[in-house]
Structure 1
Amino acid sequence: MDDRPPLVTTVLLAAQHMLAALGGIIAVPLVLGAVLKLPADQIVALVNAALLGSGVVTIIQCKGVGPVGIRLPCVMGTSFGFVGAAITIGFEHGVPGILGCSLAGSVIMIVGSFFMPQIRKLFPHTVTAVVVTMIGLSLIPVAIDWAAGGKGSPAYGAPVNLGIALFVLVLVIGLVQFGRGIISAAAVVIGMSIGYAGCMAFGLVDFSSVRQAAVFALPQPLHYGMTFPISGIFAMSLAYVVTIVETTGTFMALGTATNTKMRGKLLCRGVLCDGVGSAFTSILGSPAVSTFAQNVGVISLTGVASRHVVALTGVFLALAGLFPVLGALVVTIPQPVLGGAGLMMFAMILAAGVQMLAKVEHNKRNGLIIAVSLGCGLAVTGRPELLSKLPAIVNEIFGSGITTGAIVAVVLNLVLPGRETEASDDEAEEEVPQPMLVKHLGAA
């Protein structure tokens, strides 16, 4: 995680993470702008602030500033976990209400971060394995929609879209399996670049967004102003509570990908950065941020876990916020190209979860936890309309398959006899007796 590859290698690997995250970062402000029918200039300002804020918080999360930042390869971005609450607030109080409630609600995440050692105990191996698996299962439909041409597109599932996605997928597999050094490590960005070049050759790339984008744009903190409606603060606070669960699961998956023991203190620093970062982006004029799960797939696929590489990704995102034309250029990448690479990346997270499940002790109790929690998570993921007739608060809590699977797994682990627990940080440090440790060091 502390490796510093050569500059050219670092740039390629950082660009890889940026390509995986950029679509998700700009999607949230675009959705909010479309639903709330904001003027074009306000939507552009939201997108720029989201990119700049995500970039700055990514750097802090990777590098750390005092007690803030997990110091692992995390990419931060605007989260769809806040969209439901933001739209509800926006209809009545506009963008100032969304930003004010995001700022006030971030206190929940900041305070909650100090209880992460206790929350960590709710995630023993069985529960963690379920959450990591559910992250992979929830992300794969996203990649499928990309590969088919984009959800809602009139060309959804067109043979040309599927053919492009399949070409990129096969290319990435070949580069990872048979490439050496930087070729294998940068398989995603190389595969997407070749796919993008092929789409350009056949006239499938639309550059209209690049022509319309401004070359340079300064951030405008508090440009919209802020209001703090009580009902909106409650809704946003609930979204932050749900996000703590999702972020914990993402950090668990990241721990698996980077061979890092996710102790409570480490989680505390990471969740604190999510909270402080969301407060910062709210002031900047962007929706709240959280740790992106899709970039864990990049790490799992390439084996590159350098936090310095991902910190450079943060620099790229910040530049895209200051120079909108750069972000607009990346947005021209056809969705099938993203889908071919995304399917491989997200499937790697699923594979990691399956490997963790294979190490779970096989008994009736664990089988129940795994089966019921995955079933409930998949029910919400595959049929989101399942909750459409229930109160809004239920949708807010259980609208995400990752959150649903995690909550069900935690509850079942607590209520079923023979509870599995996670060792405390102090106990975990004592797992290897000192004589045995000396013996291993001597052998090494």
Structure 2
Amino acid sequence: MTDNNLSSSLKKPSRTINQNPDAMPPLGKAIPLGIQHIMAMFAGNVTPPIIIAGVIGATTGEQIFLIQVALFVAGIATLIQTIGMGPIGARLPIVQGTSFGFLPVALPLAGTFGLASVLGASLIAGLLQVGLGAFLKKIRHWFSPVVTGIVVLLIGITLMPVGLNYAAGGVGADDFASPTNLGLALFVLVVTIVVHQFGRGFLKASSILVGLVSGYLVAIALGMVDFSSVGNAAWFAFPKPLQYGLEFHLTAIIGMTLIMFVVGLETIGNISAITIGGAGRQAKDRELSGGVMADGVATSFAAVFNTLPNTAYAQNVGLITLTGVVSRHVVTIGGILLICMGLFPKLGGLVAAMPHAVLGGAGVVMFGMIASAGMKIIQECELNQRAMLIIAVALSLGIGLPAVEQIAETMPGQFGLLLKSGLVPAALAALLLDAILPGKPKREPIEPQEAIAAKSEEAKSNL
């Protein structure tokens, strides 16, 4: 083979799926695989805008709009990760979606200042996250597993009452905590658990979606669904940017920025899980840095298009590990499908018509899984007296302050608002204690790719 032929053959995308993110499976396989990724993340992506819509008292039309933009932005953000723009983007099979991580801070901010303040703070936080990605190597040591794990655990704990309120029918509902609502939520919960435990492959990965669809169908049979919003929604509409405007409050910016740092660390964990679990190697610095910067760009872009910050979705990472399909082109197809879905408001109308109790049944699982993920991260560190002290102080603040709202109300100005969620003071306490307490374990340096490959070959030769 001549040099020219060799060069041209190397430029062609591989059509095998052999732990290679650049692999391109045939379209007959790639399209169903892309749809599978969208189904795995769909419920998690549309839940935060539905919750925030309830807090700001949004009309049905506004709720449809918020769902529409959440789908559209997730698609654009996914393409930024898979295709990339210069140094931005990991160029790995990463699905982006609306983040639950910001909800504990966003909900009280939206209730006090309005959605515009949350979006303004998100815009700033996203820009700062781009800087975080650019200087990732220098500041990564700030966020040990004990700090990141505590914050993720508290995110789940903070959202648990939200899930239960929805399971009861939604705060302010005339039939709040009625047997019908609680029974419907319980049905969704049971279906989700059964499918997750006894399902296989794609079915297991889509257990949340199966539970939601099953509950929705039961709600329709019980006459609990009003489809008038679907009829009033347009067939096609381009999402309008800056619909709610942008406002900038220092309190909101501080809260959203702090959580942004932690969510950025989650993205690092997800990228590492993709390369280790799917591609069989450690993540490259360029992939980590580009992935976090893409998170920031997506978050700022989401703010302009009226939706909450975006982040890499962990459920899709699990799907990659489960299927072994590491092709970024598959996820690119999924991103294109998300954009198309975001252009059709009637789809948002179908989701908006879902009774709160159905969403609450799934929320019990989703928010509990977030807390479980936090505990799993904490397990990565040695639970000695130092770590236990950090966990004790952070958990006391994170759980105790929201339970005793009188403390926040006595604080001057807007400072009390940061205490209401409990997450901000807990995260600050964990970061500070981890930095100043003696005995912080040192991170082991990541070995170069050549060393890993050499060790692998040596181990094979010794067998």
Which residue of the other structure, out of 248, 259, 265, is the alignment partner of 1:243? 259
- The match for 1:296 is 314
CA contact (8 A) 1:282 1:288 kept: yes
What's the secondary structure of 1:150's corresponding residue? coil
Which residue of the other structure, out of 388, 392, 397, is the alignment partner of 1:367? 388
Sort the Cα spacing of 1:120 and 1:217 in 2 relative to 1 into closer, same or farther, 3 A: same
Which residue of the other structure, out of 349, 352, 360, is the alignment partner of 2:370? 349
CA contact (8 A) 2:49 2:66 kept: no
1:67-78 to 2 correspondence within 5 Å?
A: 67-70=87-90, 71=92, 73-77=94-98
- Deviation, 1:368, is 0.4
CA contact (8 A) 2:142 2:431 kept: yes
CA contact (8 A) 2:52 2:107 kept: yes
- Same amino acid, percent of matched pairs: 31
Give me the whole-angstrom Cα distance separating, in 1, the residues matched to 2:148 and 2:78: 24
Q: What is the TM-score of this pair, normalised by structure 2?
A: 0.75
Residue-by-residue CA offset, 1:128-158 (whole Å, 9 max, x unaligned): 3323322332333332222222233232322
Residue-by-residue CA offset, 1:63-118 (whole Å, 9 max, x unaligned): 5333223445343337544566677776xxx96x9877765665433334323323
Unaligned runs of 5+ in 2: 1-18
Which residue of the other structure, out of 153, 166, 171, is the alignment partner of 1:146? 166
Give me the whole-angstrom Cα distance separating, in 2, the residues matched to 1:244 and 1:264: 20
User: How many residue pairs align between the two structures?
Assistant: 426
Give me the whole-angstrom Cα distance separating, in 1, the residues matched to 2:363 and 2:178: 18
Give me the whole-angstrom Cα distance separating, in 2, the residues matched to 1:339 and 1:52: 24
Residue-by-residue CA offset, 1:381-402 (whole Å, 9 max, x unaligned): 5556642332455346555444
Give me the whole-angstrom Cα distance separating, in 2, the residues matched to 1:223 and 1:144: 30
What's the secondary structure of 1:428's corresponding residue? coil
1:224-263 to 2 correspondence within 5 Å?
A: 232=248, 234=250, 237-251=253-267, 254=270
- Deviation, 1:376, is 1.6
Unaligned runs of 5+ in 1: none
1:56-205 to 2 correspondence within 5 Å?
A: 56-70=76-90, 71=92, 73-77=94-98, 80=103, 81=105, 106-205=126-225
Query: Is 1:21 aligned with 2:41?
Result: no
- Deviation, 1:372, is 1.4
CA contact (8 A) 2:129 2:264 kept: no
- The match for 1:440 is 459
> Structure 1 stretch 357-366 or stretch 395-404: which is displaced more?
395-404
Which residue of the other structure, out of 212, 234, 237, is the alignment partner of 1:217? 237
CA contact (8 A) 1:132 1:253 kept: no
Give me the whole-angstrom Cα distance separating, in 2, the residues matched to 1:12 and 1:406: 35
Sort the Cα spacing of 1:257 and 1:199 in 2 relative to 1 into closer, same or farther, 3 A: farther
Residue-by-residue CA offset, 1:382-426 (whole Å, 9 max, x unaligned): 556642332455346555444443322221111112123434xxx
Give me the whole-angstrom Cα distance separating, in 1, the residues matched to 2:388 and 2:168: 35
- The match for 1:416 is 437
What's the secondary structure of 1:241's corresponding residue? helix
Give me the whole-angstrom Cα distance separating, in 2, the residues matched to 1:20 and 1:14: 10
- Deviation, 1:211, is 1.9
Give me the whole-angstrom Cα distance separating, in 2, the residues matched to 1:115 and 1:439: 35
> Structure 1 stretch 335-344 or stretch 255-264: which is displaced more?
255-264
Residue-by-residue CA offset, 1:175-219 (whole Å, 9 max, x unaligned): 222222332232222222222111111111121221221222124
CA contact (8 A) 1:168 1:340 kept: yes
Sort the Cα spacing of 1:139 and 1:421 in 2 relative to 1 into closer, same or farther, 3 A: farther
Give me the whole-angstrom Cα distance separating, in 2, the residues matched to 1:435 and 1:253: 25
CA contact (8 A) 2:268 2:292 kept: no
Quick check: which has more Rg, 1 or 2? 2
RMSD: 4.0
What's the secondary structure of 1:16's corresponding residue? helix
What's the secondary structure of 1:121's corresponding residue? helix
Give me the whole-angstrom Cα distance separating, in 1, the residues matched to 2:118 and 2:383: 46
CA contact (8 A) 2:149 2:377 kept: yes
What's the secondary structure of 2:446's corresponding residue? helix
CA contact (8 A) 2:271 2:291 kept: no
Query: Is 1:269 aligned with 2:290?
Result: yes
What's the secondary structure of 1:418's corresponding residue? coil
* Matched residue type, 2:266: T
- Deviation, 1:337, is 2.0
- The match for 2:10 is none
Give me the whole-angstrom Cα distance separating, in 2, the residues matched to 1:340 and 1:13: 22
Q: What is the TM-score of this pair, normalised by structure 1?
A: 0.78
- The match for 1:407 is 428
